[in-house]
């Protein structure tokens, strides 16, 4: 419990302190310090959970499923904070952001981390809602940080669309509470996930079905499922790049985590514990996931802004993960959990290099970015390798998870394997068609390298490579424990 409290306390203290302190450089340094503290605490928490079992039980609950997400969030938060220091320093220097707004930026960064960690570790479905709404609120003002008309429009769309989505989630949560109140004797723990899972088979299936639909649509808006995804490319592309990295890499994961938790409850109520493509929950998730995957893959070809390109790639991968969780079964679930990790790491690494690329070329339009590998080889190579990784090339981790998913699909729903493969190919083509001229084209006049901290990129990509080549036994056992929780049976 202490490790958990420390993990949550670090961003709280960080947010308050960074809101009060002026000075950009001190703020950036403190940002890194608080993220590091949180990360260390989360490692302590993880070792505790893995050795002794789930922690908490009343308001907080950390089991194998969410502890690795907590560690992942803290880790990516730390590396992004390191990246943000040099990147935002350049932005302040070039005049795109004022120092006053940097205070808001740093304290919102910590606040955002807090809401995500809270959402991941809470046991109360209501608090889960509050923290996801809080995550939106913490980042809205950051999307419009540059105060351009486009960024304000993106922030407005983000706010309103996510707000409406999350409102539907609240209705779904109320319905879950209604079903629970019939079954659980005490009203206080009626929204606790552990208690609900215990009584899952007694929950009324009709109410839970309607609740699941509302929750899927609501949280699905935050995951970026088509057709509720309209805000995502705008918000992820108009905000500062560290924001895009954490939004793409972390927030989407937390929303998907919420859906999976609710799915476990609903399936318990519908009488099909362990997941299955037969139930409506699985079918809905597969449907939304597949549509998101295919549509996003098609849209990739039309993009002109580099950050929008990679946000559509995020939508595509989240669709893939939703599909995998909907498919159910140990193989697909293991694959989905692995995919959450590697996608998070790869996407944030890509956004780091994209940020530097756009700084080099002083624009985000892809047709004006050329010859990165000649101007600053580290950035060029980083972008190339990152895109290779996210497109699913072996030996990177994404290939492994997609392979697991395809195997699972061929086992349970073979006719869906063809759309999946086609979608993967289309997305691959879309990414590389835009990437090739950017990395390898002729270097324009007067393009100079920028001060870049590419250590995060290196670390992330190495980790993804490692996960692709041979998953360490500790991690494999970790994922397996989570798979057993979600799907009923394990892989190993």
Partner 1 sequence: MQQYSQLPLIEQAILTLAAMILASSLALLAQSRVVATIRLFAWQGVLLAVITALVALDIGDAQLLISALLTLSLKALFIPWLLVRQARLLNILKDSDASIRPGLILLMGGALVVFCYSVVQPIEVFAASVTRNAVALSLAVVMLSMLMLITRRKAVTQVVAFMALENGLFFAAVTTTQGMPLVVELGVAFDVMVAAVIFGVFFFQIRDSIGSLDIDELVRLSESGE
Question: Which residues lie near partner 1 (CB under 8 A)?
Answer: 124, 126-127, 129-130, 133-134, 137, 140-141, 144, 147-150, 152-157, 159-160, 163-164, 167, 170-171, 173-175, 177-179, 181-182, 187-188, 190-191, 204, 206-207, 210, 234, 238, 299, 302-305, 308
Give the SS3 label for residue 102. helix
Cβ nearer to partner 1, comparing 150 with 201: 150
Length, in residues, of the chain: 492
- Helix H segments across 122-247? 125-143, 149-183, 193-198, 205-223, 231-238, 241-246
In 24-95, beta strands by DSSP E? 55-56, 61-62
> In whole angstroms, how close is the CB of 137 to partner 1 at the nearest point?
5
What is the SS3 assignment for 62? strand
- CB within 8 A of 177, min separation 6: which ones? 125, 126, 190, 191
Choose between 168 and 344: whose C-beta lies nearer to partner 1: 168
Q: 199 in helix, strand or coil?
A: coil
Helical segments of 392-416, H only: 397-412
Q: Is 271 left (phi over 0), alpha (psi -120 to 50) or beta?
A: left
Is the Cβ of residue 197 or residue 416 nearer to partner 1 in the bound state? Answer: 197
Distance CA 79, CA 423 (A): 31
24 within 8 A of 104, measured Cβ to Cβ? no
The number of beta carbons lying within 10 Å of the beta carbon of residue 268 is: 20
Which C-beta is closer to partner 1: that of 85 or that of 308? 308
| Residue 184 region by backbone torsions, left for phi larger than 0, else alpha for psi between -120 and 50, else beta | beta
Residue 19 in contact with residue 103, Cβ under 8 Å? yes
Instruction: For the CB of residue 160, give the shortest distance to partner 1 in the complex, in Å.
Output: 7
CA distances from residue 25 to 86, 113, 241 in whole angstroms, order as listed: 10, 20, 18
Cβ closest to partner 1, residue 163 vs residue 274 = 163
**DSSP result, 61-91:** EE-HHHHHHHHHHHHHHHHHHHHHHHHHHHH
The H or E element spanning position 386 is helix 377-391
CB of 254 to partner 1, least distance (A): 16
Distance CA 336, CA 282 (A): 14
Return the DSSP state at 201: G
CB of 311 to partner 1, least distance (A): 12
Rounded to a whole number of angstroms, the minimum distance from the CB of residue 306 to partner 1 is 12
CB of 102 vs partner 1, minimal distance in Å: 17
- Euclidean distance between CA atoms 291 and 21, whole angstroms: 46
Q: Which is nearer to partner 1, 434 or 460 (CB)?
A: 434
> From CA 103, how far away is CA 141, in angstroms rounded?
12
Comparing CB distances to partner 1, the nearer of 165 and 488 is 165
Smallest distance, partner 1 to C-beta of residue 249, A: 22
What is the rounded distance in angstroms from the CA atom of residue 321 to the CA atom of residue 285?
Answer: 9
**Closest to partner 1 by CB, 63 or 204:** 204
Query: Cβ 167 to partner 1, closest distance in Å?
Result: 5
In whole angstroms, how close is the CB of 226 to partner 1 at the nearest point? Answer: 12
Nearest CB to partner 1, comparing residues 190 and 424? 190
- In angstroms, what is the minimal distance from the CB of 212 to partner 1? 13
Q: CA–CA separation, 146 vs 272, rounded Å?
A: 49
Residue with smaller CB distance to partner 1, 190 or 389: 190
Minimum CB separation of residue 144 from partner 1 in Å reads 6
- Closer to partner 1 at the Cβ: 43 or 137? 137
Cβ proximity to partner 1: between 129 and 351 the closer is 129
Longest dimension (CA), the chain: 73
**Residue 5 beta carbon to partner 1: minimum distance, rounded to whole angstroms:** 17
Is the N-terminal amide bond of 227 cis, ω within 30° of 0?
A: yes
- DSSP designation for 305: B
């Amino acid at each position: 419990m202490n490790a958990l409290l420390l993990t949550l306390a670090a961003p709280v203290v960080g947010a308050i302190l960074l809101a009060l302190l002026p000075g950009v450089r001190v703020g950036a340094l403190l940002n890194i310090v608080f993220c590091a503290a949180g990360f260390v605490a989360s490692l302590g928490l993880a070792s505790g959970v893995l050795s002794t079992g789930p922690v908490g039980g009343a308001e907080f609950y950390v089991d194998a499923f969410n502890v690795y997400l907590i560690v992942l969030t803290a880790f990516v938060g730390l590396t992004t904070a390191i990246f943000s220091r040099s990147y935002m320093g350049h932005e302040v220097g070039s005049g795109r952001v004022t120092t006053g707004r940097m205070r808001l930026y740093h304290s919102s960064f910590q606040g955002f981390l807090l809401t995500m960690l809270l959402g991941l570790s809470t046991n109360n479905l209501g608090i889960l809602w509050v923290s996801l709404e809080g995550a939106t609120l913490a980042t809205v003002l950051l999307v419009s940080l540059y105060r351009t008309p486009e960024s304000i429009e993106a922030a407005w769309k983000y706010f309103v669309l996510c707000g409406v989505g999350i409102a539907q989630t609240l209705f779904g949560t109320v319905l879950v509470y209604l079903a629970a109140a019939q079954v659980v004797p005490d009203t206080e723990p009626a929204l606790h996930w552990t208690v609900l899972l215990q009584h899952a088979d007694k929950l009324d299936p009709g109410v839970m079905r309607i609740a699941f639909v509302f929750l899927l649509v609501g949280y699905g808006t935050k995951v970026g499922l088509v057709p509720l995804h309209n805000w995502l490319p705008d918000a992820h592309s108009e905000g500062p790049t560290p924001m895009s990295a954490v939004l793409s890499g972390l927030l989407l994961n937390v929303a998907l985590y919420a859906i999976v938790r609710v799915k476990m409850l609903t399936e318990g109520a519908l009488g099909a514990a362990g997941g299955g493509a037969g139930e409506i929950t699985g079918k809905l998730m597969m449907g939304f996931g597949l549509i998101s995957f295919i549509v996003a893959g098609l849209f990739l070809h039309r993009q002109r802004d580099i950050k929008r390109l990679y946000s559509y790639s995020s939508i595509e991968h989240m669709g893939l993960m939703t599909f995998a969780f909907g498919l159910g079964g140990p193989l697909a679930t293991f694959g989905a959990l692995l995919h959450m990790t590697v996608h998070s790491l790869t996407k944030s690494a890509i956004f780091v290099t994209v940020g530097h690329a756009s700084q080099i070329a002083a624009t985000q339009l892809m047709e004006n970015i050329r010859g990165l590998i000649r101007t600053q080889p580290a950035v060029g190579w980083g972008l190339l390798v990152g895109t290779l990784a996210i497109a699913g090339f072996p030996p990177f981790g994404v290939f492994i998870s997609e392979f697991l998913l395809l195997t699972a699909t061929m086992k349970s729903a073979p006719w869906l394997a063809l759309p999946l493969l086609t979608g993967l190919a289309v997305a691959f083509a879309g990414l590389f068609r835009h990437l090739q001229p950017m990395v390898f084209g002729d270097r324009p006049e007067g393009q100079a390298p920028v001060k870049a901290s590419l250590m995060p990129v290196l670390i992330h990509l190495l980790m993804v490579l490692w996960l692709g080549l041979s998953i360490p036994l500790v991690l494999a056992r970790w994922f397996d424990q989570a798979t057993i929780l979600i799907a009923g049976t394990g892989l190993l």
